Structure 1
Amino acid sequence: MKRFSHLLFIFLIIACSKDEDSEEIILSSENKITSFQLMLNGVLENGDINDSDKSIIFNTAGANLNSLIPEVEFSKSATIKPDINSPQNFSNDISYTVYAENGETNIYRIIVNNRELSTENKILSFQLKLGEELTEGVIDESSKIISFNSGEYDISNISPEIEISERATISPNPGIEQNFNNIVDYQVTSESGVMSTYSVIANKPVIEDVQGLGGFSKFYVGATVYVYGKYINPEIEGSEIYLSDGVNTYPVEAKEIYSSFYENINYTSFNFQIPWNLPYNTNYQFIYKNDKGTFISESQLDIMMENAPKFTSSNQNQYSYLDVIEITGENLYPQIAIPSNGNIFLITEYYYDIRVNDEKTLLELTLDYYNLFPRYYGQGVQTKAITLFGPNSRVGESFELEFY
């Protein structure tokens, strides 16, 4: 009986051992990348993992991708190649293969879209609310000056609305109120770090025209020049006006200044006499200077000293129809200009009885043209500025005579 029990026990042990040997070991099939990070421009960025097409995408700009070690998390019990501790050049697509414990694989493609940093650093629009209206600033990209006309509105404490280039930044913050009675500078910095500075000038002086009588642009010394523009009033404290040849400057004195507002813009006109000692040059420019800067005329003045016509005297102070003007002086030429009723009459020997002696010291003109006289228009005695000319319609000195 004991022998039988012993044999039964041995049989049960052997049977149990066979059952345990027959159990199958199941290996994991997990082979996913669950996190993939790269240090881009000093920031640890997470890639966008798409398990459907097995792509991991980064979008960045201006990053150095030549030698980066990623930080990767993947399925437990899986392995990955290449070695995630080895640096890679992510300028090109890199593939990582994840091996599950059971040998199944997933291949992930790492794509880094690394665009160039933007160099755009412009102010695209500049607006200010003046009263109930939104005023648009004029942006001169070449000079980096933004100008606007404020009229008589208070601009000492207002904030603008500014649009700048995409991805750029601006300082100071446009939301900060500024005193635009002074020049205000804004710095716009591109994404790549390139900065440009814009100066905002309220009521920027603009020289619109500089010319002689009748629009002529060639002058002798002593001639009168007429200036027109916006915000160029020479009577404002600190203002200066002068001529420049690019090296030297010659102050001039404004006369007959007229200034007025129209549609919130200050318009100014005046004239000045060219100094008698000015040396000959064909490219003089008129300059207006105030606390907002130096403003230069676009047009150039051709000014000559040699043989400049000069007035000395006249035979009468007042003239009527059919009188004869006798003008004495130097370098006189048979051409003068006489204003009348809003027009300028250019008197030449081709159409009028005007003559000059051989010495060019006496000019005579028979006044046989009714339109030159105020009484023809029902008006009284008027003082007229008579302008001398030289050859090629070069404008000379002006002087005053009375016409009736």
Structure 2
Amino acid sequence: MKKIFLLLICSLFILNCSKDDNSSSENIPSNANQILSFKIIDNANSFSGSINQSTKLITVFTSELDLSQTLTPEIEISENATISPSINTPRDFSDIVEYIVTAENGDETIYQVDVSSNDNKILSFSLSYNSTTYDATIDNISKTISLETLGLESYDSIVPDITISAMASISPSINEAQNFNEIVSYIVSSESGEEETYSLNITNTPFSNENKILSFQFIEDGITFDGVINHADLTIDIESYKNIINISPVITISDGASISPDSNDIQDFRLDKEYTVTSQSGSSNTYTVYTKGFLISSMNSAATTSDIVTKYYSKATPYIRCEHVDPTLPNSQLLLENDINSYVLNISDFSSSVGSTFGQTFTKFYIDLPDNIATANDYILRFKIDGILKAESDFTIDLLNENVPNIFSSDQPTYSYQDTLILTGENLTSGLRIATSNGSIYQYNASNVTLNAQATQLTIELNNNSNMFPSFYGDPPFNTAVMLFANGRYGETIWVTFE
């Protein structure tokens, strides 16, 4: 009985001791301080780190992730441990970062996180030369760079414009000039050390050597004047009867070529002009443009006057001033025309001279307005060679062929100051104009002349203007035009000598 009691007491003692041991174990703080998992997540892409618990190094390889921005990783650590910086703290992983994991018992472990990019792509590629940029198409599957160029053969040293993946490197260097007429390839290495080789496929169209002016035109008032181009002599001959002083020509040149001066520049083509055409390859031709500007400048009542007069009776003999208009040339005609009628004109007293400034040929002559001309106020003068229009007047002419005054004769061939001049004829008018040697025109109307009732005799006393006579200046006698004039319209002219 005593033995049983002692045994019971011993059992109770052992049980109590066992309970004390378990309670002591549960109260000991944990020494666990590990990072158990590490992930970087961006745009639904997850990149898990490889954790070396011996070296405490976490290595993460990413792809198409901008490491220059701050990122918040997902981190799992030991139970009851803490981490600094906090799990929720964004970090810049462009360099190695550290985390301190502290166990429950205060033991610390420092982990280093090395995030590297696997990206090794060429993102863009272009070549720039001759003021032009050529952009490539990049196939990141086949690792090819394709582009089309023009005139690349003329350039053997070009620095390309290349962008690659962030943190990657490239060989040859981006800043290194290359001869892209030869085979060139690029090796792109990711930050993690993975390499990709890109090859270039360049399709080049050589620069053209063409440097010609293909057409040269003046377009004025809806009329086109075409130049005649001689490529052997590099000359362009062009004729126009419109404005040639302040115009810009219409020029076509070889494809890809350039021209100087620009065809839009306004030029004075009274002077010879040079245009230089430069091909894509850099060779050039200089053409000289020779312009002949046909011009019917004015219609005057007499050679000694410059007043433009456009109202005449038939049988009048106006004086015409022109540039390059020569009715004495073979197969040429001077015409008076409107939409209904056309008359070939006879000329007299033709003369020509060459201008000292622009070298144009000035011509002057009288024309005889025909007796049979139809009355109209819309005539223009036209000059043609071989039926081709070379010039036309920019003024219209008003002609009257009813009751036309007609001079038969003068009472004497020569007149001096204070003489009496008597004209006989039919339908004579009570008005005269006299174009004298001093370049003036003296007008006489009904108050100065006497006209008989039959309009067959006109009398004027030459006693008013002594300076009409060349002797007033000590000059020799002058062949003087005496013109019928009434109601602003010139009629027939008779020539007499003033002494």
TM-score bracket, normalised by the shorter chain, equals: 0.5 to 0.7
- Contact 2:425/2:456 (8 A) holds in 1: yes
Q: Post-superposition shift, 1:252? A: 0.4
Q: Give 3-state SS (helix, strand or coil) of 2:472's partner.
A: helix
Q: Which has the larger radius of gyration?
A: 2
Where does residue 227 of structure 1 map in the other structure? Answer: 320
Q: Give 3-state SS (helix, strand or coil) of 1:376's partner.
A: helix
Q: Post-superposition shift, 1:301? A: 0.3
2:306 equivalent to 1:217: no
C-alpha separation between the residues in 2 aligned to 1:298 and 1:165?
A: 23
2:233 equivalent to 1:158: yes
Q: Give 3-state SS (helix, strand or coil) of 1:203's partner.
A: strand
What is the aligned-residue identity percentage? Answer: 26
Where does residue 11 of structure 2 map in the other structure? Answer: none
- Contact 1:147/1:204 (8 A) holds in 2: no
C-alpha separation between the residues in 2 aligned to 1:157 and 1:260?
A: 31
2:426 equivalent to 1:330: yes
Q: Post-superposition shift, 1:321? A: 2.0
String of CA shifts for 1:110-165, please: whole Å, max 9, x gaps: xxxxxxxxxxxxx9997xxxxxxxxxxx94454333679xxxxxx9962149x998
C-alpha separation between the residues in 1 aligned to 2:466 and 2:214?
A: 58
- Contact 1:338/1:387 (8 A) holds in 2: yes
Match of 1:362 among 443, 450, 457: 457
String of CA shifts for 1:221-253, please: whole Å, max 9, x gaps: 011122212110111222111100123210001
Q: Provide closer, same or farther for how the CA distance between residues 206 and 146 of structure 1 changes in structure 2, counting only shifts above 3 A.
A: farther
Give unmatched runs, 5+ long, in structure 2.
1-60, 64-117, 125-133, 149-212, 237-247, 260-288
- Contact 1:210/1:286 (8 A) holds in 2: no
Where does residue 203 of structure 1 map in the other structure? Answer: 292
2:378 equivalent to 1:283: yes
- Contact 1:252/1:273 (8 A) holds in 2: yes
Q: Give 3-state SS (helix, strand or coil) of 1:215's partner.
A: coil
Where does residue 341 of structure 1 map in the other structure? Answer: 437
Q: Give 3-state SS (helix, strand or coil) of 1:375's partner.
A: helix
C-alpha separation between the residues in 2 aligned to 1:319 and 1:272?
A: 26
String of CA shifts for 1:182-229, please: whole Å, max 9, x gaps: xxxxxxxxxxxxxxxxxx874242222234344322110011122212
Q: How does 1:165-180 map onto structure 2 within 5 Å?
A: 169=254
2:395 equivalent to 1:299: yes
Structure 1: which amino acid aligns with 2:459?
A: E
Give unmatched runs, 5+ long, in structure 1.
1-25, 36-44, 60-122, 127-137, 149-154, 175-199
C-alpha separation between the residues in 1 aligned to 2:250 and 2:469?
A: 63
Q: How does 1:55-204 map onto structure 2 within 5 Å?
A: 139-141=218-220, 142-145=222-225, 158-160=233-235, 169=254, 202-204=291-293
Match of 1:396 among 470, 483, 491: 491
String of CA shifts for 1:329-386, please: whole Å, max 9, x gaps: 1221121121222323333237x63121222211110010312222222123332221
Q: How does 1:348-387 map onto structure 2 within 5 Å?
A: 348-349=444-445, 353-368=448-463, 369-387=465-483
2:355 equivalent to 1:266: no
**Structure 1 consecutive aligned stretches of length 4 or more whose deviation exceeds 6 Å:** 26-35, 56-59, 123-126, 163-168
2:407 equivalent to 1:311: yes
CA RMSD after TM alignment:
4.7
- Contact 1:206/1:231 (8 A) holds in 2: yes
C-alpha separation between the residues in 1 aligned to 2:250 and 2:484?
A: 56
C-alpha separation between the residues in 2 aligned to 1:219 and 1:354?
A: 21
Q: Provide closer, same or farther for how the CA distance between residues 208 and 251 of structure 1 changes in structure 2, counting only shifts above 3 A.
A: same
Higher relative contact order (CA 8 A, sep 6+): 1
Q: Provide closer, same or farther for how the CA distance between residues 247 and 320 of structure 1 changes in structure 2, counting only shifts above 3 A.
A: same
C-alpha separation between the residues in 2 aligned to 1:147 and 1:340?
A: 44
C-alpha separation between the residues in 1 aligned to 2:445 and 2:251?
A: 66
Q: Provide closer, same or farther for how the CA distance between residues 252 and 223 of structure 1 changes in structure 2, counting only shifts above 3 A.
A: same
Q: Provide closer, same or farther for how the CA distance between residues 374 and 246 of structure 1 changes in structure 2, counting only shifts above 3 A.
A: same
